[in-house]
Copies of this chain bind each other. A is one copy, B any other.
């Protein structure tokens, strides 16, 4: 998100700018390192090294390791998959929307295995530290998806098989479960499984095996 080039950019960067930059580098490095080794398994030296800095830089920008984890958590959780509904053309027929959404999700999993590892680490952390303020915008995200699903169902004149919010929860859960399985056994999960399941769930399950003669439109 670099906007207009400020006059500053010809000058030496200000202290504030440099500090913000350092902080960002540390957070990026932490995301990489924590995904790879876990919160407990990764050291602050690992993080600093990955960022090309020293541990002192970490302590100059964060109170301690836990604080770093919390800030990172606020920054990352759930960001991954929020963009998908907006990228699916709502004018396509429903089964193709399902297939397309499934495809996008699977592509994301493949490209950003690391993000998902980090997210799992976050979820475990939250599950083990329930006192921790839960920064999930989970309910807002779920409502957003639920609204989209309801709206498209209304427009296209079909009925959702479950209340929209519950369906949204289930779809998230299915995605998370598929992601998890893929993380451990990539070969066991076909690429189009998520899309096909979406089609089944939304009740427009195209052709079924053993049922010849079903026509695509």
CB within 8 Å for A173 and B169 given contacts A40-B38, A162-B200: no
Q: Is A176 interfacial (CB-CB < 8 Å)?
A: yes
Stretch at the interface among A18-26, A53-61, A134-142: A134-142
In the complex, per-residue mask of A32-45: 1 if CB is within 8 Å of any chain B CB, else 0: 00001111110000
Copies per complex of this chain: 2
How many of A's residues come within 8 Å of B, CB to CB? 55
Distance (Å) between the CB of A160 and the closest chain B CB? 8
A117 is contacted by which of B128, B139, B175, B208 (Cβ under 8 Å)? Answer: B128
Residues in B with CB closer than 8 Å to A90 are none
Question: Does A172 contact B177, Cβ atoms closer than 8 Å?
Answer: yes
User: Contact partner of A134 among B173, B184, B196, CB < 8 A?
Assistant: B184
Chain B residue nearest to A164 (CB atoms) is B209
- Chain A residues with a Cβ under 8 A of chain B: 36-41, 117, 120-121, 123-124, 126-128, 134, 136, 138-139, 142, 157-163, 166, 169-170, 172-178, 180-181, 183-185, 188-190, 193, 196-197, 200-201, 203, 205, 208-211
Known: A169-B190, A173-B178; 16 extra A-B contacts, CB below 8 A, are A36-B128, A40-B41, A117-B127, A120-B123, A134-B185, A136-B184, A138-B185, A162-B209, A169-B178, A169-B188, A170-B178, A174-B174, A175-B177, A176-B181, A200-B200, A201-B201
